[in-house]
A and B are shown apart, each in its own frame.
Chain A
């Protein structure tokens, strides 16, 4: 599956959509597929500060757990509360209703360390 063109990606299979100093973060289609049926998403509290590439949450499937690493530093503005009752949204629409976090970006220059769609596709294809 081709990656949406307006996103940036991390090697840990997260995507980020930048809109001014705010960013929406989720996991890629490749990641949701590798994890299988996602049953629970553990996210940090709104208001907390997170640091680029640090572990900020956990995604559980039936028989695996995976760390969620944030692709950018910032302050969490909103977490996707709908996932509490519908974690399957991450499987269904990883780039849409299955988003995980919205943050206020503290250092936009960090985006340089992220990958454009074409480069991420190479990693995911491996």
Chain B
């Protein structure tokens, strides 16, 4: 082994390997010994954490940030994830003291601004997506899915339709759909897509029955294709007494053109950390508003923000300035709360700030340009990679490296790793499962034409290289701080923590 210190591609020591006891920062006055306050029997014997100087901590995590790729560094065409620019004004507003320091048990009358933020967001989302109401309770998309299925379960139970225990999920669905269904005791029926990458009405009729509870779909689907038969599908499900659920992961493609409510969906979630620019933060926190049609409003998770006319409201202000708000916990039909407190509120602030930055015309423009960017990339990439569904797509599309694999042994994974060497995030690969050697690409609307052109030329170069010298791709990435990682070793000999 070469000396790690001289290898820029090597490990950074762990924070635990840097620290020295006694090298503490003085953030607080030293208190008395703990056993002044509590009997020894309830106290811990030792606290084996390192003390680090603030400078060492700054350098350590700054170094780690340099080893992390975010949207701020480069193009992030990650399908199904909507990695658009995260405007900094949103974070600045969320960090204001009057939002960041507000305690969740603050009496409603002293938290009217927070409640108004939640109310305006909720009303805007309901209109934008054609739902009767939203709950801002769920913490992320999968969490909202769970909430929606709990609503369905309770709804059918109260109607005496306990036999409805099947959830229909197309084969293009996100993995969270079946996992959420299982957490409510529903059995999953997987529905194949047709040759055009859609769910057909005939196919769905075959599986519908008196045991159908919910049909979970996303539109456009994960191939980026619009399900044109969605109204017929919804009608068929409704005729059978089932409910329609809209997975809102792909909502960036439809704003201003159609709404899940208009398509016939009864339940839906949004990933505001996708569509409404809340930063992903390395995997969370998210925010998953859960919307329902009128007949399901009573079942929404608690609490709900309700409004009443304000006796001293601002007559010259916005409509919501004339209202007074409260958190309503007394909702007997509700499935109950889904999280410790009311909402990922700081994210509600960000999402509302983003809605203000757009308004109705802006949101429509967002979807237009997201779809424009995706189609532009699609036709450019079709020059040198297969695109199995050569038609107008929505906000994302899939390409396939199947020919490359057959002829040159180069897989989608190899293309992805090569892109990393060129300063791009890789597209989503091997999803959806029905396209072999799949690359799923979602550019989002915040990228310029120049960025897209640059990406196309880089990818073209990589595909050329794959044909000339496949080994170069098998060796990629080479410019990153580590090369390909041994995942088998990680899983066979799990090392999940440092030990003293």
Q: Which residue of chain A lies nearest to B492 when distances are taken between CB atoms in the complex?
A: A39
A53 within 8 A of partner (CB): no
Q: How many residues of B contact A (CB 8 A)?
A: 4
- Give chain A residues whose Cβ lies under 8 Å from the Cβ of B488: 37, 39, 62
Size category of the A interface is under 10
A94 at the interface (CB under 8 A from B): no
State the Cβ distance, B436 to closest chain A Cβ, in Å.
Answer: 14
- Cβ-based interface call for B487 (8 A): yes
Q: Does A74 contact B (CB under 8 A)?
A: no
B318 contacts the other chain (Cβ, under 8 Å)? no
Query: In the complex, what distance in Å separates the CA atom of A63 from the CA atom of B487?
Result: 9
How near does chain A come to B422, taking the closest CB pair, in angstroms? 25
Q: Tell yes or no: B491 within 8 A of A by CB.
A: yes
Interface residues of A in 85-106 (CB under 8 A from B): 87-88
Interface residues of B in 466-500 (CB under 8 A from A): 487-488, 491-492
Closest A residue, CB atoms, query B430 = A63
The docked-state distance in angstroms from the alpha carbon of A37 to that of B490 is 12
Chain B residues, CB < 8 A from A63 = 487
Q: Is A40 part of the binding interface, using a Cβ–Cβ cutoff of 8 Å?
A: yes
Q: In whole angstroms, how far apart are the Cα atoms of A88 and B492 in the complex?
A: 8
Query: B487 contacts which chain A residues (CB < 8 A)?
Result: 62-63
Q: State the CA gap A60–B490 with chains docked (Å).
A: 13
Enumerate B211-255 residues with CB–CB distance to A below 8 Å: none
A84 → chain B, closest Cβ, in Å?
A: 11
How far apart are the CA atoms of A41 and B242 in the complex, in Å? 38
| A77 CB → nearest B CB, Å | 27
Collect the chain A residues with CB atoms within 8 Å of residue B491's CB. 37, 39-40, 60, 62
A39 contact set on B, CB distance < 8 A: 488, 491-492
A40 and B488 alpha carbons, distance in the complex (Å)? 10
Q: Which B258-310 residues have a C-beta within 8 angstroms of A? A: none
Assembly CA distance A25 to B61 (angstroms)? 51
Set of chain B residues within 8 Å of A87, measured between Cβ atoms = 492
Least CB distance from B12 to A in Å reads 25
Roughly how many angstroms separate A40 CA and B491 CA in the complex, as a whole number? 8
Interchain nearest-CB distance for A61 vs B (Å): 8
CA distance A62 to B492 in the complex (A): 9
For B492, the chain A residues whose CB sits under 8 A away are 37, 39, 87-88
Residue of B nearest to A37 (CB): B488
Q: Give the residues from 14 to 73 in chain A that come closer than 8 angstroms, CB to CB, to chain B.
A: 37, 39-40, 60, 62-63
Give the residue name and chain of the A residue nearest to B488 (CB). A37
Query: In the complex, A39 Cα to B487 Cα: how many Å?
Result: 10
* Distance A40 CA – B492 CA, assembled complex (angstroms): 7
CA distance A62 to B484 in the complex (A): 14
- Output the least CB separation between A34 and chain B (Å): 14
The CA of A72 and the CA of B488, in the complex, are separated in Å by 31
Report the bound CA distance from A62 to B491 in whole Å: 7
Distance to closest chain B CB from A83 (angstroms)? 11
B329 CB to closest chain A CB (Å) equals 40
Chain B, Cβ-Cβ closest to A40: B491
Interface of chain B residues 119 through 165 with chain A (CB within 8 A): none
> With A and B bound together, what is the CA distance between A40 and B493 in angstroms?
10
CA distance A88 to B491 in the complex (A): 11
A28 to chain B, nearest CB (A): 20
| Chain A min CB distance to B431 (Å) | 11
Task: Kindly state the separation between the CA atoms of A45 and B220 in the bound complex, as whole angstroms.
Answer: 45
Q: Which residues of the other chain, B, contact A40 by a CB distance below 8 angstroms?
A: 491
Closest chain A CB from B472 CB (angstroms): 24
Bound-state Cα–Cα, A79 to B491, Å: 21
Complex CA gap A37/B487 in Å reads: 9
B68 to chain A, nearest CB (A): 23
**Min CB–CB distance A12 → chain B (angstroms):** 18
* Smallest beta-carbon distance A38→chain B, Å: 9
State the Cβ distance, A55 to closest chain B Cβ, in Å. 14
B144 to chain A, nearest CB (A): 25
Contacts of A62 in B (CB 8 A): 487-488, 491
Q: By CB atoms of chain B within 10 A, which of A62, A63, A87, A88 has the most? A: A62
A residues lining the B interface (CB < 8 Å): 37, 39-40, 60, 62-63, 87-88
14 A-B residue pairings within 8 Å (CB atoms) = A37-B488, A37-B491, A37-B492, A39-B488, A39-B491, A39-B492, A40-B491, A60-B491, A62-B487, A62-B488, A62-B491, A63-B487, A87-B492, A88-B492
Q: Other than A62-B487, A62-B491, A63-B487, give 11 A-B pairs with Cβ distance below 8 A.
A: A37-B488, A37-B491, A37-B492, A39-B488, A39-B491, A39-B492, A40-B491, A60-B491, A62-B488, A87-B492, A88-B492
Q: Which 3 A-B pairs have the closest CB atoms?
A: A39-B491, A37-B488, A62-B487
